Amino acid sequence: MLGRPITISLSPNTESDDVWLAFKTLFSPQIWKEGGAIEDVKQWFRNYFSVDSAVSFNSGRSALLAILKAFGIGEGDEVLVQAFTCVAVPNSVLWAGAKPVYVDIDETLNMDPIDVEKKITKKTKALIVQHTFGIPAQIDALTKVAKKHNLIVVEDCAHALGATYKGKKLGTLGDAAFFSFGRDKVVSSVFGGMAIINGKWQMANGKLKQYQETLLYPSYFWIFQQLFHPVAFSLILMSYNFLIGKIFLVIFQKLRLLSFPVYPEEKKGKQPSDFPAKFPHALAILLIRQLKKLERYNENRKQVADFYRTQLQRRDASLTPPVSGAIYLRFPLLSSKSTQIIQQARHHGIYLGNWYHNVIDPTGVDYQAIGYMLGSCPKAEKTATQIVNLPTRITLDQANKVIEAINL
């Protein structure tokens, strides 16, 4: 199969107007760092979540680190995080000076409240509740446990902007929440993040703002890398199923014209100099355009997810249970033949995802450096060997091609 591929991670949200906007902004470096679009983004979040304050950063991991610091979490403290996640989450805990303690997952691929109870100690100060793939965690049960032990609840909404739980927006159900605008998140500015803290925590809100004000903007080169990303991938994707598209990608990466979503040093728990930093104006310009598309994107995702569920139930595939309010950034499929399914789809020009094919992703993470002990979260470890992610930011015709290609 030739032509433009169906992909899950190669700039899935970028449309022609986003490419043109990035291209124009590339030629205006005088507005890359500061400008009014940053306040526009923060105002959007204040309005959407009905909060008094929203504080922007250059990544979700920076936003999480800032939240932990705002609550005074650091040396000698423990923070519960789920296994089956990206290394960026426990790294933020490590960078704050605290210790990540890993919790197993339940059938929704989120933090298991029963295992949470087992992992709490006198040193535990917070739990980070990840809403994996935009599927709501058991937030009622988790907040109940947290209240019992006087713990801070931080919602990880990196996959979940626009998702709801019992009619309430994810991000409003804990003490704080952070969001990511990475290249393959719900909305994308290639990098970026936002932190919000419940209004009852006035002191923490003040500290969050103060911390952000001490940060610098990223370098001009870093901003260039992010602006170049939508432009580059508009060229790469047109020829990706030919050899030339893949060659372009390798060349751009070798020349460092494109950034990586996870830096090599992060796999060892180390903190790159690029994080944390302020959210630059150039990326805020891209994000404002994307936020206008949020509702359309999420309705598309839910429609495609419903289609997958209907089709795969007929084929007796192993699926997670349906959860009301989910937006399905990616649609999870579990199979003992996950590698074979991904390879099979690739032959048809369909590039599926494998979040998280390591219990702490990506490949190459030093588990000892980030404090993960193999065997401590067996459900997460088993799921990592079976996971396949189906794309949801596609048309129903494309979704049907995905179903045909995986041949279950």
Q: Which residues contact 399 (CB under 8 A, 6 or more apart)?
A: 304, 307, 308, 390, 391, 392
Alpha carbons within 13 angstroms on the beta-carbon side of residue 154 total 32
C-alpha to C-alpha distance for 341 and 388, rounded to whole angstroms = 8
> Which of the 8 DSSP states describes residue 267?
G
Q: Residues 330, 39, 35, CA angle at the centre, nearest 5°?
A: 110
Q: What is the DSSP string of 357-398?
A: SSSEESTT--HHHHT--TTSSHHHHHHHHHEEEEE-SS-HHH
Residue 72's identity, in one-letter code, is: G
**Is 3.40.640.10 the CATH number for 29-213?**
yes
pLDDT at residue 273 in the model: 97
pLDDT tens for the chain, residues 1 to 408: 456 789 999 899 999 999 999 999 999 999 999 999 999 999 999 999 999 999 999 999 999 999 999 999 999 999 999 999 999 999 999 999 999 999 999 999 999 999 999 999 999 999 999 999 999 999 999 999 999 999 999 999 999 999 999 999 999 999 999 999 999 999 999 999 999 999 999 999 999 999 999 999 999 999 999 999 999 999 888 888 777 888 888 899 899 999 999 999 999 999 999 999 999 999 999 999 999 999 999 999 999 999 999 999 988 789 999 999 999 999 999 999 999 999 999 999 999 999 999 999 999 999 999 999 999 999 999 999 999 999 999 999 999 999 999 976
Assigned token pair, 180: 């990511």
Residue 218 preceded by cis peptide, ω within 30: no
Residue 77's identity, in one-letter code, is: D
Q: Which residues contact 371 (CB under 8 A, 6 or more apart)?
A: 90, 94, 99, 100, 101, 102
> Which of the 8 DSSP states describes residue 156?
E
CA dihedral 336, 10, 109, 78 (to 10 degrees): 120
pLDDT at residue 317 in the model: 83
- Say which residue the tokens 């994307």 belong to: 290
Topology (CATH level 3) of domain 294-406: Aspartate Aminotransferase, domain 1 (3.90.1150)
Closest CA to 295 of 134, 163, 133: 163
Which residues are registered as beta bridge partners of 81? 102, 128
Would you call 198 helix, strand, or coil by DSSP? coil
Residue intervals in the chain for CATH 3.40.640.10: 29-213
CB 399 within 8 A of CB 6: no
pTM of the predicted model over 0.95: yes
Residue intervals in the chain for CATH 3.90.1150.10: 294-406
pLDDT at residue 248 in the model: 87
pLDDT at residue 1 in the model: 43
